[in-house]
Amino acid sequence: MNADILKRLVRAIGEGAHEDLELLAKKVIQVERDTGHQKLAGELDRIFARARSQGASSTPPTLRELPSSRRNRELLVSVTPRDQLEHFMVLPPEVEERFARVEREYAARERLSAYGLRPRKRVLLHGPPGCGKSLGAKRLAWNTTLPLMKVKFDALLSSYFGESASNLRTVFEAAKERPCVLLLDECDFIARSRSTDRDVGEAARVVNALLQFLDEYDAPGILVATTNVEESLDEAIFRRFDDVFKVPLPGDREIEQLFRTTLSAVKISGQIDWATVIGSLKGLSAAYTVKAAQDAAKAAVLVGRKTVEEEDVRLAIDEIRRGKSL
Ligand SMILES: Nc1ncnc2c1ncn2[C@@H]1O[C@H](COP(=O)(O)OP(=O)(O)OP(=O)(O)O)[C@@H](O)[C@H]1O
Ligand SMILES: [Mg+2]
């Protein structure tokens, strides 16, 4: 190998300069190709592409690699560090299975593609607030080891003609370059996309662009969109996603499990009548259930009691119910 490449290679390894190493790998492949070693160059090319798509999934993108708007270089996405990805979820078994299937298909993506099959890559989560749509995206990122890239709609939407759509294109192109879970959180306008009003403003342009990018989406990672708006989900939406499913309110089993796991660090009185607790939390979101359990535990800890009593639980739930009805 050429002495100059060897020196640069050793220096880049010494400095841990990842980007230089990538450039050098490409250079080595090119040199082999230029010297007539086509077979070796082809093989190196394939090894590089495979290693890159596998390695990239676990390393978070650097700031420089994140998409930003052309006008003021504002970041168009935010990345959640892996150690901040909340991922424990309590779900009814059939919903747990829907999430797990997306994860299994992602893990088996190469085996599937050998048969000409595509893993589920575009997922729409819908359902009532506070039941785990945003959390579901984090969990998918955690279990696939993909970085979570959340689109910042406030930065993306611009008042300049056509700029929002071009920002959106930048985001989708970035997701192609580097595998990630691309999260379009609370994009209710997806569900409303079929509204009959003939809006021709910037908002309508971004919806149209989004629908088109969804149609064409073929990035190496997973796209997750979430919405609370369920009534207008229709065929046109279902067609654009590989999987659409509801993250529902917790049922009896889930309420008890949420309550118990939230209280797992403290002792719970054996006197608690779970049927009553479940009954009084029915219809509330998972987020409220977690909050009720935390409030009950805090009340006990604050008065120096080692055990959470039925009264703590009752008061915490009553307070949440009162707050909800205000
Ligand atoms: N299924 C769940 N299992 C465990 N904890 C949950 C679950 N759903 C919600 N939580 C708790 O409630 C919090 C809020 O949930 P999350 O942000 O995912 O709700 P959401 O469905 O995205 O709501 P919104 O529609 O308001 O955005 C989570 O951070 C978590 O603490
Ligand atoms: Mg949310």
Domains of the chain: which residue ranges? 3-58, 63-246, 252-325
Radius of gyration over every alpha carbon of the chain, rounded to an integer in angstroms? 25
Q: Are 61 and 180 in contact (CB under 8 A)?
A: yes
pLDDT for position 57: 55
Cβ 75 under 6 angstroms from ligand 1: no
**What is the pTM assigned to this prediction?**
0.81
Distance (Å) from CA 57 to ligand 1 centroid: 25
pLDDT for position 141: 97
**Which ligand 1 atom is the nearest neighbour of the CA of 90?**
3
Query: Looking only at Cα atoms, what is the longest distance across the chain?
Result: 81
Q: How far apart are CA 87 and CA 316, in angstroms?
A: 25
pLDDT for position 27: 86
Pick the CATH number of 63-246 from 3.40.50.720, 3.20.20.70, 1.20.140.10, 3.40.50.300: 3.40.50.300
Cβ 89 under 6 angstroms from ligand 1: yes
**Which ligand 1 atom is the nearest neighbour of the CA of 89?**
3
Cβ 228 under 6 angstroms from ligand 1: yes
114: left (phi over 0), alpha (psi -120 to 50) or beta: alpha
* CATH topology agreement for domains 63-246 and 252-325: no
pLDDT for position 33: 87
Pick the CATH number of 252-325 from 1.10.8.60, 3.30.1490.150, 1.10.1240.10, 3.30.499.10: 1.10.8.60
- If one residue of 131, 142, 258, 281 were mutated to test the ligand 1 pocket, choosing by the most ligand atoms within 8 A of its CB, it would be 131
Distance (Å) from CA 137 to ligand 2 centroid: 9
Low-confidence ranges of the chain (pLDDT < 70): 1, 16-19, 52-61, 63-64, 190-200, 325-326
Distance (Å) from CA 131 to ligand 1 centroid: 4
Q: How far apart are CA 50 and CA 25, in angstroms?
A: 13
Residue 2: which residues within 8 A CB-CB, separation 6 or more?
A: 31
- Buried b / exposed e across 271-291, counting CB within 10 Å, b at 16+? ebeeeebbebbeebbbebbbb
Cβ 215 under 6 angstroms from ligand 1: no
